[in-house]
A = this chain, B = another copy of it.
Amino acid sequence: MGPGPIDADPRVLAAMSRPLIGQFDPAMTGLMERTMALYRGVFRTANEATLVVDGTSRAGIEACLVSLLRPGDPVLVLVMGRFGHLLKEIAERCGATVRTVEVPWGGVVPAEAVEEAILRKRPVLVATVQGDTSTTMNQPLADLGEVCRRHDVLLYADVTASIGGNPLELDAWGVDVASAGLQKCLAGPPGSAPVSLSGRAVERVRSRHSVEAGIQGAGLDDELPPEERIRSNYFDLGMVLDYWGPLRLNHHTEATSMLYAAFECARILLEEGVDAAVERHRLHGAAMAAGLRGLGLSTYGDDAHRMHNVVGVHIPDGVDADAVRADLLAGHGIEIGTSFGPLHGRIWRIGTMGYNAREDAVLRTLDSLEAVLSSHGVAVPTGGGTDAAVETYGR
């Protein structure tokens, strides 16, 4: 019940034990096609360039940024927590000229501040996270998309922590590029990063298109000088697109078992329906937050912009925060998280996401937390957590 990775759906675990198939077996290329189609549904997009990068969600971020940004390109990064800092750092390592719009941890960035920075800095790309688990905040994207379109700037969002549990509409909101992971609301393991790129983003990636020397021939020779190429081979989304597309040019060897997982995660989500899954996360997230308040804890951050699937609570004064977490894990089999940087040791983060966004998981967590807090000398109202949660459930 932490901020992720979470328990995977048993269907996803089962999918990963399927026998491997060869990477150019029609069964494999067919599965890749079907996975692309499913993730268009998950991202709510018609983007042809929708696929998975073989690595954790951070690999998806880096693939998008290094493929989109040339050295020296001005980029504007929104920083409202740890993962904004991460985007900044990755963009810097791509050689881009990075400017930031920062807000204190616990808030979100107003679209007006972004527009003003666009006018001053003229970036080619605005980069942000949607849900930053370090602060539990959910950055509104629709207004940003509108601003970016108006000023002809690409918008990239890392939606790893939010997708499937909070509203996300790539096309309707004008988000050009998004990258995700399976290990949050998609109920899968870390290690596969779904990404989607709009036509204009693909055009930008393709402007540095190259073909690997060892597979050249048949008119596929590469004339791009080395210094012009995208700075990474593994994360060169032009090459990855050539592998996932009709050319089927060999690049990496697609991570078969993780592809099975990504496929099954999307299938489960779309069977439930994206809107229904978002509503489920809203409901159980609200019940968890109410329950925590019912235990006398205070929630962290701007209530108007909290993510559905993770909530931060201030650690009560005088409590050994790590000992509480250890007791929860050892005595109750429940993991919760602390946070990073300025919030380390100041808040606990409790997730209700993916397969764990369920009433029994919420109630059991509140019950266990009550017992552990009590054993640590914190005065907690008996049944205060579960009562408040049950009330949220309308009973």
A residues lining the B interface (CB < 8 Å): 2, 4-8, 13-14, 16-20, 22-23, 25, 54-59, 62, 66, 81-86, 88-90, 92-95, 134, 181, 183, 189-191, 212-218, 226, 229-235, 250-258, 261, 329, 335, 340-342, 344
The answer on a CB contact under 8 Å between A217 and B341 is yes
Least CB distance from A136 to B in Å reads 14
Contacts of A216 on B, CB cut-off 8 Å?
341
Least CB distance from A246 to B in Å reads 16
Known: A19-B8, A253-B57. A335 touches B190 (CB 8 A): no
The answer on a CB contact under 8 Å between B190 and A253 is yes
Query: In the complex this chain forms, how many copies of it are found?
Result: 2
Chain B, residue nearest A355 (CB): B20
The answer on a CB contact under 8 Å between B62 and A233 is yes
The answer on a CB contact under 8 Å between A54 and B212 is no
The answer on a CB contact under 8 Å between A191 and B256 is yes
The answer on a CB contact under 8 Å between A5 and B22 is yes
The answer on a CB contact under 8 Å between B25 and A19 is no
The answer on a CB contact under 8 Å between B250 and A340 is yes
Contacts of A62 on B, CB cut-off 8 Å?
232-234
The answer on a CB contact under 8 Å between A214 and B134 is yes
Chain B, residue nearest A53 (CB): B55
The answer on a CB contact under 8 Å between B189 and A257 is yes
Least CB distance from A391 to B in Å reads 29
Known: A16-B16, A19-B7, A214-B134. A253 touches B183 (CB 8 A): yes
**Interface residue SS majority, chain A:** loop
Least CB distance from A6 to B in Å reads 7
The answer, among B2, B181, B230, B252, for a CB contact under 8 Å with A93, is: B230
Bound together, the chains give a CA A247 to CA B319 distance in angstroms of 24
Contacts of A4 on B, CB cut-off 8 Å?
253
The answer, among B58, B231, B233, B258, for a CB contact under 8 Å with A58, is: B233
Least CB distance from A24 to B in Å reads 8
New contact pairs (19) apart from A56-B255, A90-B234, A257-B257, CB-CB < 8 Å: A5-B23, A13-B17, A54-B191, A57-B253, A59-B59, A81-B214, A82-B215, A85-B213, A86-B212, A86-B233, A93-B226, A181-B253, A189-B255, A189-B258, A190-B253, A191-B255, A232-B232, A234-B235, A250-B340
Least CB distance from A80 to B in Å reads 11
Bound together, the chains give a CA A217 to CA B134 distance in angstroms of 15
The answer on a CB contact under 8 Å between A254 and B342 is no
Contacts of A344 on B, CB cut-off 8 Å?
215, 217-218
Least CB distance from A47 to B in Å reads 23
The answer on a CB contact under 8 Å between B93 and A25 is no
Bound together, the chains give a CA A230 to CA B89 distance in angstroms of 11
The answer on a CB contact under 8 Å between A17 and B19 is no
Known: A230-B93, A232-B93, A234-B59. A190 touches B19 (CB 8 A): no
The answer, among B59, B181, B329, for a CB contact under 8 Å with A55, is: B59
The answer, among B2, B85, B217, B340, for a CB contact under 8 Å with A22, is: B2
The 3 closest A-B pairs by CB, nearest first: A191-B255, A82-B214, A85-B214
